[in-house]
Amino acid sequence: MDSKKGRSTEAEGSKERGLVHVWQAGSCSGTPERLSGWGGKTVLQAALGAKHGVLLTEDGVVYSFGTLPWRSEPAEICPSSPILENALVGQYVVTVAAGSFHSGAVTESGIVYMWGENSAGQCAVANQQYVPEPNPVSISDSETSPLLAVRILQLACGEEHTLALSISREIWAWGTGCQLGLITTTFPVTKPQKIEHLAGRVVLQVACGAFHSLALVQCLPSQDLKPVPERCNQCSQLLITMTDKEDHVIISDSHCCPLGVTLSESQAENQASIAISPSTETLHSQGEVFENTLAENDLPATELNVGNGQTTSSDAISSQQDMGTTEMPSARNTPSYPDTQAVNEYVQKLSDLSVRKNSENGEKPVPSQPLIEEAIPNLHSPPTTSTSALNSLVVSCASAVGVRVAATYEAGALSLKKVMNFYSTAPCEPGTQAGSSSTGPEGLKDSREEQVKQESMQGKKSSSLVDIREEESEGGSRRLSLPGLLSQVSPRLLRKAARVKTRTVVLTPTYSGEADALLPSLRTEVWTWGKGKDGQLGHGDVLPRLQPLCVKCLDGKEVIHLEAGGVHSLALTAKSQVYSWGSNTFGQLGHSDFPTTIPRLAKVDNENGVWSVAAGQDYSLFLVDTEDFQPGLYYSGRQDPTEGDNLPENHSGTKTPVLLSCSKLGYISRVTAGKDRYLALVDKNIMGYIASLHELAATERRFYSKLSDIKSQILRPLLSLENLGTASTIQLLQEVASRFSKLCYLIGQHGASLSSFLHGIKEARSLVILKHASLFLDSYTEYCTSITNFLVMGGFQLLAKPAIDFLNKNQELLQGLSEVTDENTQLVEILNTLFFLPTRRLHNYAKVLLKLATCFEVVSSHIYPFWTLGKPRIIVWIMPPHDMEHHYFNIYICLIKFIFLQRNARRKYDCR
């Protein structure tokens, strides 16, 4: 009797969590349907392919549904309901993935299983068209002796390739195509190989499009950064360039290699010595890398610079039509590779054409004078640079200009120290001229002015494949206009440049072992490779990449998650923003009617942030926070005509993301996109528990966005002023800024972890704020101590006139950030309210934790001492409700600690 009651209770509870709802892609007005034939098990994760999908339940069991042509039984090819993958019974699966026509699963022990279409080796099986049942994949590291099996954390599948992320944070690949990121000429690759280009880096996530790949990589600490090379190892063009744009100069490091390949120097040498002859059975092989450049061989370099990074040559476009196709694989011939001499002649032709164009037009380069360093995180600049290098750069730029101009530099992708390192490197230093070939006479190197002219011309050559107009429009918010240059540099500017900065406040905290180990990292980079004919790689061009290359436009954007569609890509940031790039034929990018080869912000919801995304074949999904904390789902992309519509035969798309009607479904926790349909996992609000979790996550993400705005719009410009007050005032303000920045970063990490928490099993005991409450208590205590010390000593009233003037000019901004509605409120009170926002957040923590605690029934009547406060010691006791499990008791403990910390900070402020 009890067992029957237990089963009925379990079945009833399973109907409230992990519910599967399916939409047909291409219809914004359609209503979702429950997955046909699916029972009552709770689904934790789902993955969709072109015509099939896989489901992972909370007990680690995998089901497949849809069209399954690889199954051995005819009845299982198109089952009416999801079928159990019997080969995985007994294996506890922790994650699943689906490519266009194949599937994969990873067990708790880190073993990979693959099944489905295998014509391109995407299931890691040789000479077999289909793999009907899940088959274990052997992944071993040949660098170890004896061979050790590699444990896998995550899996991603494309159309003809598969990527696996190991427990040591390295990527393994198998299948076919340049999207593998491997240096090989033999396809298919059926034995998993490590992507050596990212070896030694900490990879956080991998994602696969149809024929391109993405990786989220943790930034290297500053001490591990390598010096930036002067020239590209492949084409020998300058990596940092100056481009004359009439009345201003653009300093840019957005170099685009004409060969479409970025290899290290040693790898390039090895590749040059290998005779390459792909077999006729190779699909989308490396030979296609040179299709675009060979088709353009008879065109002037300037004709390649067109809007949105697309190539004007019809031949060049048609040469890549077969790249990115979604048809089933078939044997076909591939073009052979050009020899090294042909490539060198092509590069030299590009160089000569650019130089001749410049000389015919009589253009004069105008170098820039970067004097201000913007404190942007994640910029890869050398750790130290002498001030004499900066002075020489200033003098050389000023002497070369002679007229008043406006200089700009790309603050989001280029650091001043990087520029100074480039200019201060002596030509005779080892490695400076490695792999480079001088195109000008020897006399050009004797004069700094002539060298600047040469670099400007080289800049035009290296950017001939990149749409510089697109860079200018995108960089409008990232570039910093500098004061005009005079024919003679002001001594004040030179003294300012040479003066040792005393206010070196690190607004982006250094790596902290415990927090970075427990919470997601926000210091990330995005690396992409594979086919890029639609700009889906994000490098500003339409060239393919054989090796992973960093998307520089996303440096410092704090990307926490990546998604790849058929020919477009999405990047979600910690500030709940989405950057999208690639094909925009149907409006799947969510920001304009045109494609883009560089990441741009998607315009989803102006008031609320995005916390989860999914990319389908030609559409995108955005899960957005709402005012009532119930997530809203936006759709952007292909719009199929409905019955009665007089639409053209070709499908139309959405102009802007459209909000879907799904308020009655419940709380959406995860969205997944395929080719013709997309899927959402939904939870019902069980005793208010699910709503409380979403409230905690949504308010934390919003709080981080507000703290980031305060740091970037108030603290950073305030600290850059020359005169802030007395030495003691500056020291106290620096301490406040440093603690504020550390707390801000912790909140950003916590917001990202809560988003991941909502995707999983959602057990209260796994909440970071409960398991590791000391991290939050310590950071809040440090900040509360610093701000109260600053206010007790006089606070913002002691700031000097330049600081007060700056704050007065931005009083409206301060009121908006501090949520002060009274316009008559004094400036000092607004500032006090603004910088005490973290203590108010402590109160919000306590409120939400109390809601969580009341969701559980308890019968224990014991009284527990758990907290002592102050001197003399005051022992605080708490009597929990009845029959509460021990780990839920931590909710009460953490709740009261936050309350005491808030009251203690407020008491210090009131007694100042």
Q: What pLDDT digit, counting tens, does each position of 834-880 carry?
A: 999 998 898 888 888 888 888 776 544 444 444 443 433 334 344 44
Q: What is the pLDDT of residues 694-729, one digit of tens each?
A: 999 999 999 999 999 999 999 999 999 988 999 999
Go through 841-852 and write b for each residue having 16 or more CB atoms within 10 A of its CB, e for each that does not.
Answer: bbebbbbbbebb
C-alpha distance from residue 606 to each of 434, 626, 653, 654 (Å): 49, 11, 21, 17
**pLDDT (0 to 100) of residue 613:** 97
Q: Report which DSSP code applies to 256.
A: -
Q: What is the pLDDT of residue 501?
A: 45
d(CA 103, CA 113): 8
User: Residue 893 — very low, low, confident or very high, per pLDDT cuts 50/70/90?
Assistant: low
Burial class (CB in 10 A: 0-12, 13-18, 19+), 81: exposed
Task: Select the highest-mean-pLDDT range: 100-109, 718-727, 781-790.
Answer: 100-109
With cut-offs at 50, 70 and 90, classify the pLDDT of residue 202: very high
Statement: 689-907 belongs to CATH 1.20.900? yes
Return the pLDDT at 40: 74
Please tell me the predicted confidence (pLDDT) of residue 282: 37
List, for residues 323-362, the tens digit of each pLDDT value. Answer: 433 333 433 343 444 455 655 665 566 556 555 545 555 4
**Domains in the chain: boundaries:** 689-907
What is the identity of the amino acid at 471? E
Q: Confidence band (pLDDT; 50, 70, 90) for 140?
A: very high
pLDDT tens digit sequence for 253-308: 656 665 554 444 334 334 433 333 333 333 333 333 333 333 333 333 333 333 34
Q: Which of 25, 2, 16, 3 is nearest to 669 (CA)?
A: 16
Residue 134 has pLDDT above 90, yes or no: yes
Helix (H) or strand (E) holding 45: strand 43-48
* Short-list 778, 772, 702, 773, CA closest to 742: 778
- Residue 280 DSSP code: T
Is the four-CA dihedral 139, 143, 146, 152 of positive or negative sign? negative
> Three-state SS for 633?
strand
Does residue 433 or residue 112 have the better pLDDT?
A: 112
Q: Establish whether the linkage from the previous residue to 146 is cis, with ω within 30° of 0.
A: yes
- Of 770 and 694, which is predicted with more confidence? 694
Model pTM above 0.85: no
Strand ordering across the sheet containing 102-107: 93-98, 102-107, 112-117, 130-137
Q: What's the pLDDT score for residue 803?
A: 94
318 or 758: whose pLDDT is higher? 758
Task: Determine the pLDDT at residue 511.
Answer: 60
- Looking at the predicted structure, is the pLDDT value of residue 673 above 90? yes
Does 385 or 550 have the greater pLDDT score? 550
For residue 911, what pLDDT band results from cuts at 50, 70 and 90? Answer: very low
pLDDT above 70 for 493: no
How far is it, in rounded angstroms, from Cα 296 to Cα 294?
Answer: 5
Task: Specify the pLDDT at position 158.
Answer: 97
How long is the chain? Answer: 912
pLDDT band with cut points at 50, 70 and 90 for residue 386 = very low
State how beta strands 632-639 and 652-653 pair. Answer: antiparallel
Q: Given a cut of 70, is residue 642 above it in pLDDT?
A: no
In the structure encoding, which two tokens stand for residue 818, read together? 């501090």
Q: What is the mean pLDDT of the chain?
A: 74
Judged on CB neighbours under 10 Å (0-12, 13-18, 19+), 356 is: exposed
* In the predicted structure, residue 810 carries a pLDDT above the cut 90: yes
Tell me the per-residue pLDDT of 562-621, one tens digit each, with 9 for 90 and over.
Answer: 999 999 999 999 999 999 999 999 999 998 878 899 999 999 987 889 999 999 999 999
Q: Which of 195-204, 312-321, 633-642 has the lowest mean pLDDT?
A: 312-321
Share of residues in the chain with pLDDT > 70 (%): 60
Taking 80 as the threshold, does the pLDDT of residue 509 lie above it?
A: no
Name the most confidently modeled range: 29-43, 82-96, 468-482.
Answer: 82-96
pLDDT of 433 > 70? The answer is no
User: Model confidence at 395, in pLDDT bands (50, 70, 90)?
Assistant: very low
Residue 551 has pLDDT above 90, yes or no: yes
- Whether residue 401 is predicted with pLDDT greater than 80 in this model: the reply is no
pLDDT for res 245: 61
**Token digits for 597?**
């080869």
Average pLDDT of the residues in 899-912? 57
- The residue ranking higher by pLDDT, 243 or 163, is 163
Q: List residues bridging with 639 in a β-sheet.
A: 652
Q: In terms of DSSP bridges, do strands 545-550 and 559-564 run parallel, antiparallel, or are they unpaired? A: unpaired
Predicted local distance difference test score (pLDDT) of residue 185: 85
pLDDT at residue 413 greater than cutoff 60: no
Per-residue pLDDT of 50-73, as tens digits, reads 999 999 999 999 999 999 999 988
> Lowest mean pLDDT: which of 435-449, 491-505, 588-602, 680-694?
435-449
With bands split at pLDDT 50, 70 and 90, how would you rate the model's confidence at 36? confident
pLDDT beyond 60 at 321: no
781 vs 471: which has the higher pLDDT: 781
